[in-house]
Structure 1
Amino acid sequence: MELVKHTGGCHCGAVRFEVLSSPDLHVFHCSCSVCTKKQNHHFIIPKSQFTLLQGLDNLTTYTFNTHVAKHTFCKTCGVQSFYSPRSNPDGYVAPHCLDPGTVRSITVEKFCGEKWEESMQTHKTIRDM
């Protein structure tokens, strides 16, 4: 699989990261309570393909319910440029904060986060990531 280095970060620039991934992104639109409010989309990559370049001291984390997902965001601008999802706690997501120029295409797939447990059992794509 072809891998490219994507860079990205938060709005104010305090947090910067890079990820190695295909230029063709597979993104999930989740309908859980927090993703609905944030209009979040998931782009899951293994932790080993994520590098935080700067801003560790400028991050804070929100958790709820099972506290498995770590919703990390910038203390200054409030932007969540990446986080560790409940579906893949050893992975990271960051589609909306990637810098332009390295993404060739985006495929969006729905994930029913309102029925999370049932969806994880039946949704093969996200389960296998």
Structure 2
Amino acid sequence: MKKTYHGSCHCGEVSYETQLDLQAGTFRCNCSVCRKKRSWLAVASPEDFRLVAGREALGEYQFATRKLHHLFCRNCGVSSYAWGENEALGTFFAVAVNCLDDATADELVNAPVAYVDGLHERYDAPPEETRHL
């Protein structure tokens, strides 16, 4: 069941509300950016995501196929969400689970985690190794 969560960067300049069902699953990716950031993400649809504050504080980084818009707070550097488009999902938001301010420890511990092989653009399959993610 979806629940409304509030998320933010470290300094609080960027904040958002999102509706997620953490029990429906989260994911970790092994692409070069996600691996370096140790990203832990959940997908939200556009109707389930609302930026509350900080649009002017956002920086953006894109690489490779430039399909994802990796956003970060220019003040504290934290990447609390990204957005992109793909054939299966359409427009989507990738919310950093670790930036959900009101997610309980129990909700986080019990959230299923899937692994995707973004390094080889195989988002429907896990990479051979996941222990480092």
TM-score exceeds 0.5: yes
Runs of 5+ consecutive residues of structure 2 not aligned to the other structure: 126-133
Q: Determine the C-alpha separation between the residues in 2 that align with 1:79 and 1:24.
A: 25
> Identity of paired residues, percent?
29
Runs of 5+ consecutive residues of structure 1 not aligned to the other structure: 124-129
Q: Determine the C-alpha separation between the residues in 2 that align with 1:37 and 1:85.
A: 19
Does 2:104 match 1:99? no
Distance 1:29 1:101, change over 3 A: closer
So what's the TM-score if we normalise by structure 1? Answer: 0.82
Q: Determine the C-alpha separation between the residues in 2 that align with 1:107 and 1:76.
A: 32
Distance 1:89 1:77, change over 3 A: farther
So what's the TM-score if we normalise by structure 2? Answer: 0.80
Q: Which runs of 4+ in 1 moved over 4 A?
A: 85-89
Q: After the TM superposition, which residues 50-129 of structure 1 pair with which residues of structure 2 at under 5 Å, given as runs?
A: 50-85=49-84, 88=89, 90-94=91-95, 95-101=97-103, 104=107, 105-116=110-121, 119-120=122-123, 122-123=124-125
Q: Determine the C-alpha separation between the residues in 2 that align with 1:110 and 1:3.
A: 22
Give deviations 1:8-51, integer Å, cap 9, x for gaps: 10000001100012252511111111111111122111111000
Deviates more, 1:90-99 or 1:102-111: 102-111
Give deviations 1:64-112, integer Å, cap 9, x for gaps: 1111100001000000011014655611122120013457331111111
